[in-house]
Each structure stands twice: as structure tokens, then as C-alpha cells.
Structure 1
Amino acid sequence: MRDLLHRWLRNWRSRSALKKCAAISRLALDDAEAALVDAEKQASAFIETVSAAAEINSQDGTVVEQARQVLKERTTALSLSLQMEISTLRTALARKRNRADYFTVTLFGQTMAGKSTIREAVTGGDGTTIGKGGQRTTRDVREYQWQGLTIVDTPGFGAYEGTEDRELAFSTMDESDVVVFLLSSDGVQKDAFLEMAALNRLRKHVVFVLNVKHDLKKLAKYRRDFVSDPSAWMGDAAIQPHRNRIASLVRVHAPWMAQKVRVVAVHAQAAWMARQPEYKAEASRLLAGSNINQLLHLLEDELHLHGTQRRVDTIIGGTERALTFVSERVSVVSTSFREEAELMEEKHTELKAKLDDFIGRFPERCRTAVQEHFAPLEKGLGKFVEDNLRSSEFDKRWKARVAELKTDAWVKQYADDIAGELAAIVREFWRQVQVDAEFTTEFHGAEATSADPVDWQKMVRRVGIVLGVAATVLALTSNPAGWAVGIASLLTGITSFFVPGKSDAIKKAKEEARTQLAAQIEQNAAEVARSLQDWFTREIEEKTIAPLQSDIVGLTLSIRTLAGAATKLSATICAGRDALLSRHPIPSPDCEPQTLAPTP
């Protein structure tokens, strides 16, 4: 009668605790889903902002087309990542709502550590699943009920097909309220503790259970010795070295738990055997020696004393982690955008100074270059007149001399040289930007890219086409052959006054010819220089440099807009998260909750 009353009381306490857990779970879920909806609205507004900011209105095409395209790809990747994270959180909350009436304990550990044996001992199983760790399949996440608790037996990790088992085991963790981390006395391996990092990220409450591996079924003597004196295997002297080993590994691999390590030693096989008919005579001593009741009472206390807080931790904690993750990732992007905008502004200031110098020096450079081009023609002018003035082939010889200058080719080459200098200046600008900034479409990895942020070669090709067309127009305008013929015709008229024997007249004619030719050369040199200057102003300054600088300013402004939008989104998500936590506080993972979570 006494035992029956005790069981009834335990069941009543469990039902009462579950009702409170269910109520606080639904309240927490409502608030978590509201926070998710708000975050989704903010993310949608952000996506609209970044989509608009990634567009640049160029004046006549753009010489930073690829930079704009990469920026679009980057913001698209960011938008997709946000949508994916929000969708993942929505799915997680939906699963948790389906489990609002449950308090879940997950058995977690390496394959063959004894999880199934413990579960069978607790739930009164027939033992058919014991020892099947090496035969796991994706269907082997199993749930069982005991005293109001939902016990989940997950596949182990670390054995054959361990990767699949590990992923399957972790897939249930987010919905768990308490994790029983099972270790085996026949080998407390540090590899098992490498999984603790994931448990820390999930902020799960962990109970360490050491399963003492001493096969009581192998020999009857082993069983008799155990029931006679279980302390030989379960006493402090036998267990303390294992506790020390576990504590040491926790300090190394899970330091956030070092101050609250709880290790419960059990003999899972003895606990299971105590429920089997063939061991009925020794059942009470097997059960007592197994120490399974200490673990069961601890799990009951988790429900009765800490159930509502654990439920809040599971629901709100998961939402808080997801929102924090999104906020931090967006914050990283914001910082990256801001630094890139600052870099662009710094480098653009340097570029503008170089371009201003390039433009300012061109008139004098152009005049000097044209003068140097025509200098050979002017330098030999006196001798040419002396040798050819009275020749009937003066016109032909002058045309040949003018043709030797190859002015058409020189004009095109000079234009190409100017284009090359401009391309080199801009190329160096983008090279420096590339060295210090990472234009990448990756939102999660944020890895450097080996590609130029802007296809400067495309810009160079565009400049070359512009300059090539302009050079052709310039050659037609200056028409050096045309002015050469004009001078020759003029000189033909002069020579008609020349008569043999009149030395003074001949001398005067030569001087006049030299003067007129020199003046004509100077005039045409000035025309070539003026045409080049007009071309430079129109094609280089107005159609190439001005749009380039305008696009760089626009690109920088877009990046700053993105940085501002990302900063605002990160802050808004943080504010929503903090408001959620103010309604449903979550204790630090370093301390135990001292009070129950508030009930609705």
C-alpha cells in the first residue's frame, strides 16, 4: 500500500509538473514566434534596401560594371542566407510546438556505451535492442515514456557509420530539455568530449552518466560477487578515478561546465537484469547495486524542480541562439561593408589626385610632344629650301619629307600612349582595392577572392576603342597631306619670280620660303595640339574619367547604404532578442537556475 501511494504521488507530481511545463512552453512559443515574425519583417525591409542600393545609375554604360555585379551577387547571397536562417528557425519552432506537452531527456554518447541498456532498464524493455549499436539505421531514433518523461535513445557516434549516427543524434538535440551524456568505464576517451562543443552551442543541461562495464551474465560468480558487495565496482574508490578523468577532460574540452560537472555512476546491465524474471531472486540487490535509482531521481527532479526553466531554455534558448547568430553574421557584413566603403573613399581620393594631375599636365605635355614631332621637319627646313627651291620636283620632294613624319600613325600612337597611362592609373587603383578589400558573394565564409573586384581590362578596352576612334577623327581633321600640298602650291608661285643671275632676289625668295614654311609648320602643329586637346577633353575627361569617378562615388555610397542597413538590421534583431529574453530569462550556462521560470 505504501509503495502504491508513493507511485501515485510521483505520478501526480509528474502530471502537475508537465501541465506547468506545457503552459510555459506555449507562452514561450507564442513570444518566440512573434519575435521571429518581427525579425522576418525587418529582414524583408533590409532585402529591399540592399537590392535598391546595389543598383548604380551610370551616365553612359559604366566602367565599374563588374564591381556592381559582384555587389549584387553579394547582397543576393546575404538575402538568401537570411531567408534560410529564418526558415530554419521557423521549422524548429514548429517542431517544438508539436512537443509542447513533453519534457524530453536525450541519451547521448558513443556507440556501445550502454544507452539502450539504460533505456531498457528504465522503461522495462525486453532487451532486444541492447547491443545493436553497430547496426544503426536512420530510423533508429526511438522515444519512450517514463514517469512523464520522454526518453529519446539516439544512435551513438564514433563507430561504424559513426558520421551518420552522429548527425542523427544531434538532429534531436535542439528539442531536448536535458541531455544524458553517457560514458563507459572501459574507456573514457577524449574523442567523446570533442562533441561537447556542439552541446555548448545548444546550451543544453548535461548530466554525465558513467556506465560501469562489468559483465554480470558472463559467469554466475560475477553476479554473486556483485550483489554481495557492489561497492567493489560502484564505490567511491572504484569510481573516483573515472570522475577525475571526466572532470579533467571537461576542463579541457568543455571549460564552461567545469564548475558544475555531475557524474552519476550506474551499472546499466544490473538495472536491466533486475527487471528480468530469471533474476527475480536477486532483483532487489541488483537494482540497489546498479545505482539506477539515483539517476532516475535526478531526472525526476529535473522535471519537478527545473522543468519550466528547462522548457524555456529549449524554446527561448534556441530562438535566442538563432537570432544572435543572424545578428552577428549581419554585423560582420556591416563591418565589412563599412571598411570597404572607407577603403574606397581613401583610394578614390588618391585616384582623384592622380587623375587631376594627369589632366592638368596634359596641355603642356601635348604641346611639347607635338613640337617634338614636327621638330625634324623644321630643323632641316633651311637646307631643304636651299637644295630644292629651284627644282621642278620641289612639290614632290616636300610631300615626301612631310610623309616621313607619319603624322597619322604618330597621332594614333600618342593617343594609345595616353590611354595606356590612364589605364595604368586606374588599374593600380583597383589593384590596391583588391589587396585590401574582399568583394565576395559568400555571406557565411567571407573568404578572399582571387578575382579583381572590377574588370579593369574591360575598362581599358573601352578606353582604347574611344581613343582609337578619336585618333582617326583627329587625323582626318589635321590632314597633314592637305596642308603640305597647299604650301607646295604657294611656293610654286614664289619660284615663278626667280630668274637666274639675280642673287639678291634668290636670297630673298629663299628667306621668304623658309619663313612661310616655318609659319605653316607652327600653325599646323598648333592645330594638331588643339585637336588633341579637344579630343582629350571630350573623350578622356568627359566621357571616361568623369563617369568613372561618378561610378566610384555611387558604388561607395551604395556600400555605405548597405553597411547602414545591415547595422540597423543587426541592432533591431538584437533588440527583439533582448525583449524576448526579458520576458523569459535564461540563466547563464555557468550557473544552475535557483528558481523556477514564471508560470503564466
Structure 2
Amino acid sequence: MKIDTEAIAHSLNQSFTLDGIIVKVSVKNDCLKIALESVAVTKKDQLLPVIMREIANFKLTSIKTVKIYGKQIKTFDPNWYHNFDLQPENNYECSQSEFKEALKNCSKTANSAYNRSIRYAKKIEIVITQLNSDLKAVSHEILKIKGSEQFQFKETLKQIQLDIKNISEDSLEDLVIFLDKKRKHLKDFTVALFGRTKAGKSTLRETLTRGNGSTIGKGSQRTTRDVKEYFWQGLRLLDTPGIEAYQGNDDTNKANDIIDQSDIVLFLTSDDSVQPGEFQAMAQLQQINKYFAVILNVKHDISNNLEDLQMFIDIPEMVFDEDRLSQHKHHIQSHIQEYLHLDNVDIVPIHAQSGFLSTQAEYQEYSSQLWQLSKIEELYSLIAYQIYTNGQDLRLSTFADSLEYFIKSIDQKLAAAKSQLSVQLNFLEQKQREIEKIFAEIEKEGDRKIKDKCDSLYDLIENQIGSFVDQYSDMDINGRQREWKKIVNEKNIEETMKSCIEAIFSDLGEKLKEFEQEYEYDLKNIQIDMAMNFSNITKDDTGKLIKRVGVGIGAVGAALFVAANWWNPGG
């Protein structure tokens, strides 16, 4: 595969824009050469992690060695140079001093990230306070609308304000708790170890802590609360219970808290039984947004007799059979991709038992050989590589994840409240259109009935006008008025018209009663739907259950709709 040296040079030049460094890249056979030229003398320790991180992003499978040197412009001899092997598993050996310096820089990043997170949390608190103040002001304006007191708007809006205040403050409290846990370990680079029971976690822990082996084989007796903390080579390690022990929200939340505190997550499995279920169980936890690697413990017992031990020392290939382990790695990659949706995960085979035996007095004669063959140093080398190249980013991400989960939590909860309010608004707007239609139909029908009644009454009176004029033409005006009034009264015009109007209002009442019944039915259904909608929202990214926001409106009597001038659901 042809290496795009221009793309690599461009990427590195972008990284060093502010440092005034010019990067030149070339390839010879399977070696990638990188020259860093600048006016001032460059610092090797500051540049190497950046270069190695960028190179790793290009996934240069055909490159075996990377040679880097820094020099001043217009000079021939480099000020410094550095070589490292580029292997698929990123197995990089850095010096102890380089590793300590990387851990120190990680600690500085953690302090800075913590302080920024606290400032951000305070800003969010101000925004939430302002949001509740705005809601209170809007509620006040809504409740000023004539007739709104007939609804349960007042209590509903108060409840909405209280719910939003509570869910926001709960999430903010969670964030502060998460940050406070991390504050206690700002100096510690934290690695979490997960895996199923009997995969060898106890053996590995006893090895790293130089224990006496008292806990080996007793994994099934551990409780879900039993998280072990210990330190190894400057790292803080959190050893968790077997992955199958996480049952229920409480256990899951505890596991999520461990992931949240960690900068690197390791998963231990064994070659005697790689099961998809163990990775599926891991997938039940929150999304792993940090470096994740798998430790494949080869469980070949060498403690039975000296012959087995000696054979392992003489022929380690018998235990670390590449073909067999390659198949295991393939299955692991498939399970991780299916359940955790992670690609290209590093898998490190170790022999935890030989590592443990190397620490025991009775195996002192073979200690050095057993430790080397355990390949635990390769695991350490992998972690060291990640810390040296990406450590500061990993520490920053640990704090950024908490903020991201917090923001998503607030966003989800407010979106849920907004969605339910929108459902209510659509419901009220629909009912507004229905009630307007009823009044429009009644008005139209009423006008027709009144006109018909007026026409029929007018016809009755009109037929008597001719005979009235003939009969009372000689009578004075006052007399004619008295006689005409008698004729009109005989027709019961006022009572007839009053009866007509009462019939119209009676018809209106019946329609409003029918409307109210439909309204009550629809209201109950909408409240059920809203409850169902909330039940579908189970967890946010932090693994916390979303609190339900009770949003509902009360029934409305038919009489209220007669005075419908106050109807204004759009508010």
C-alpha cells in the first residue's frame, strides 16, 4: 500500500502551526522518516506524543519503524532523534522517566479539567435558575387570561416548574458528585478492570499486588459491593466484581460510576471459555467512550508438577499457540463489535498464573523466567503507550464525559417535558377548533331558525294589515296603537321568539354536553399516552433513570364554553 506522505506531513504541520515547526515526511522500504525543522531547538518530550498519536491515526500497516529527528533550520546535524517500532498492537517501550513525566502531565490536565468543569457546572446552575424564572413569568402571564382559573393550569404549571427544577438540580447534583469523586484522585491515572468470574482477575490482582494468593479461586464469594483499589507502577487500578454479578439498576449504576472514574477500561476474559454473554453484559453498562482493551488470560495450569513448569519454560509456544489464540482473538473482536460497537480493540494474551508464581518464594529459582513468560509486562507496555501518547486526552475525556452526560441528561429531560407540553397544546388547539366549529354551526343554524320564525310571524301579522286599516282607519292614532298591540299580543310573538332562542341554547347545551363527554374521554387517553411515553424513556447516557414529569389538565364543564371568549390555548 502506498503511503501518503503529503497527508501525514500536512496533518503534523497542522498540529505544530503555532510552534513554527516545518514537518517533512519520507518513506524508505518499511521505515517512515519524519524531520522536524524549526528556528529554535525543539523539545523532544513535548513533540513525540503528538507525533505518535497522529501516526497511529493513519493505521500504517506496511510501516514497521518510525524514525524522528529534530533540527534547527540551516543546520546539518539533528539536535535529537528517536526511533520506535510501529506494530499493530502499538507495543511501545518508553523509559521510566518518560512515563513518570507523562503521568505528571496527565495530573496537570486533570486539575485543569476539574476546575473548568466546576466553573461550567456553576454557569449551568445559573442558566437553570434563569429558566425557572422565565417559566414562572410565562406562567403568570398565562394565568392572567380570563377564565384560565377554570382549568387546572395553575397547579399544572406549578408542577411543571417544580419538575424541571428538580430534574435539572438532580442532574447537577449528580455531576457535582461525579466531579467530587474525581477530585480525590486528580493525581492518579485510573484503570478499571472488568471481566467475568473465574477468568483470572484474582490471580492477576494477587500478582500485581504481590499477594499470597488467598483470594484466588474465591471470586464467586465476592459481593457486588466489593470493588478493590490498588496501585501498580504508578497507576490506580480498580478491580470490579465479575460482570455477571451486575443485576438491577443499583449494581449497574455502581459499575457505571467505576467506568466514569476511569481513564482506561480493561476487560479480562480467558481462553477456556470466551462467551458472547460476558461482552453482552458489559454492553448493558453505559457507552464506553474511552480507551478499551481486552486481556486474554491463557489458563494452562503449570503448578501441578515441576515437569509441566519446565515444559512451559522450555516451550512457551505450547501455551501461547498462535493459531489457537488467533481464533480466540477473532471471536473476541466479533463479540466486541456486535455488543460494544468498538472496532480494532487491542487484545493482549497473558498467562496470569505464571505471573503469580513468579512472586512466590517456592518458585524463586524460576522467578525471572516466569515473569517474562507471563507477558504481563506487555500489558503494562500497552497501557504505558496509551498514557504516553494519549494520556492527557484520556484524562481530559474523563471529565468531559461527565459534562457531556450531564448536558445530555438535562437535554433529554427538558425535551421530554417539551414533548408532553406540545401534546397538550395540540390537544387544546384541536379542542379549540372543535368548540369554534360548534359555535359556528349553532350560530348559523340559530340565524336560520330565528329568520324562519320571524318570517312566519310576519306572515301572520301581514295578513291582518289590510283588514286592520279598513276597520280602524277612522280611529285616532292612540287608539290604533292600542288595537294593533292587542293583535300582536294575541300572536304571542315575544313568547314565541323567546322559546325559539331557548331552543337554540338548549341545542347548544346538548352539543356542549356531548363535546364535554368526548373531551373527558380524550383527556384521559392523552394522559395515558403521556404516561406511556415517559415509561419508554428508561435511561440516559449516565445510566440514571429519568424522572417522570406529570403534565395534565383538568376537565371543563359545559357551562364554561357558553362564555368562550376567554379560550386561548395558544398561550
Instruction: Name the TM-score, length of structure 1 as normaliser.
Output: 0.63
Aligned to 2:135: 50
Equivalent residues in 2 for 1:45-84, closer than 5 Å: 45-55=130-140, 56-57=142-143, 62=148, 65-66=151-152, 69-84=155-170
**8 A Cα contact 1:157 1:163, kept in partner:** no
Where 2:191 maps in the other structure, the secondary structure is strand
Q: Specify the SS of the correspondent of 2:237.
A: strand
Q: How does 1:163-178 map onto structure 2 within 5 Å? A: 167-178=253-264
In the alignment, structure 1 residue 93 sits paired with structure 2 residue 172? no
Tell me the residue number matched to 1:27.
Answer: 112
Q: Does 1:556 align with 2:552?
A: no
Per-residue deviation, 1:36: 1.3
Query: CA offsets, 1:151-195, max 9 Å, x none?
Result: 111112215979876554333111101011111222111111124
Q: Which one of the candidate residues 188, 204, 207 is aligned to 2:293?
A: 207
The one-character-per-residue Cα deviations of 1:288-324 (angstroms, maximum 9, x if unpaired) are 2221111011122233332211101111222123213
Mapped pair 1:425 → 2:515: yes
Q: 1:13 to 1:72 in 2, by over 3 A?
A: same
What is the 5 A alignment of 1:348-497? 348-362=432-446, 365=449, 418-428=508-518, 440=530, 445=535, 453-456=552-555, 458-460=556-558
| 1:531 aligned residue | none
Question: How many correspondences in the alignment?
Answer: 430
Query: 1: CA distance between counterparts of 2:179 and 2:193?
Result: 22
Conserved in 1, the CA contact under 8 Å of 2:442 and 2:504?
A: no
- Read off the aligned partner of 1:273 and give its amino acid letter: L
1:217 to partner: Cα distance: 2.4
CA distance in 1, matches of 2:411, 2:301: 52
CA contact (8 A) 1:154 1:168 kept: no
Distance 1:337 1:141 in 2: 43
Aligned to 1:546: 565
Pairing 1:241–2:331 present: no
Are residues 201 and 138 of structure 1, via their aligned partners in 2, closer, same or farther at CA, if it must alter by over 3 Å?
Answer: closer
Distance 2:163 2:535 in 1: 11
Q: C-alpha displacement at 1:249, in angstroms?
A: 0.8
Match status 1:284 vs 2:368: yes
- Distance in 1 between the 2:159 and 2:454 partners? 47
CA distance 1:445–1:50, change in 2 (3 Å): farther
Query: Cα offset for 1:25?
Result: 1.0
Comparing both structures, which one devotes a greater share of its residues to strand? 2
Residues 392-428 of structure 1, C-alpha deviation per residue, up to 9 Å, x if partnerless? xxxxxxxxxxxxx9xx999999866542321323544
Q: Amino acid of the residue matched to residue 316 of structure 1?
A: A
| Greater mean alpha carbon deviation, residues 237-246 or residues 167-176 | 167-176
For 1:300-319, list aligned pairs within 5 A: 300-319=384-403
2 CA distance for matches of 1:79 and 1:443?
A: 21
- 1:13 Cα deviation after fit: 3.2
Alignment partners' CA distance in 1, 2:511 and 2:149: 16
SS at match of 1:305: helix
Q: Contact conserved, 1:114 with 1:182, CA < 8 A, in 2?
A: yes
Q: Please tell me the root mean square deviation across aligned C-alpha atoms, in Å.
A: 3.9
Any idea what the Cα deviations from partners look like across 1:560-581, whole Å, max 9, x if unmatched? xxxxxxxxxxxxxxxxxxxxxx
Who is 2:213 aligned against? 127
Q: 1:161 to 1:435 in 2, by over 3 A?
A: closer
**What whole-Å deviation, never above 9, does each CA across 1:502-540 have from its counterpart, x for those lacking one?**
xxxxxxxxxxxxxxxxxxxxxxxxxxxxxxxxxxxxxx6
- Once the two structures are TM-superposed, the CA of residue 43 in structure 1 deviates from its matched residue by 1.0
Is the CA contact (8 Å cut-off) linking 1:113 and 1:211 kept in structure 2? yes
* Greater Rg by CA: 1
Tell whether 2:126 aligns with 1:36.
no
SS at 1:124's partner residue? coil
Which of 252, 257, 271 in structure 1 is aligned with 2:355? 271
For residues 100-127 of structure 1, the C-alpha deviation after alignment (integer angstroms, 9 at most, x for no partner) is 1110111111122211211221232222
Q: Using the TM superposition, give the Cα deviation of residue 79 of structure 1 relative to its aligned residue in structure 2, in angstroms.
A: 2.4
Partner of 1:560: none
| Higher RCO (C-alpha 8 Å, min separation 6) | 1
Aligned to 2:244: 158
Taking the aligned partners of 2:249 and 2:221, their CA distance within structure 1 comes to: 14
Q: Which runs of 5+ in 2 are unaligned?
A: 1-93, 457-494, 538-547
Distance 1:414 1:344, change over 3 A: closer
State the SS of the aligned residue for 1:556: coil
Matched-pair contact (CA < 8 Å) for 1:121–1:268: yes
Contact 2:246 2:252 in 1 (8 A): no
SS of residue in 2 equivalent to 1:172: helix
Deviations 1:6-36 (A, max 9, x none): xxx9543343222211111111111111211
Cα distance in 2 for residues equivalent to 1:320 and 1:251: 24
Q: Is the 8 A contact 1:109 1:192 kept in 2?
A: yes
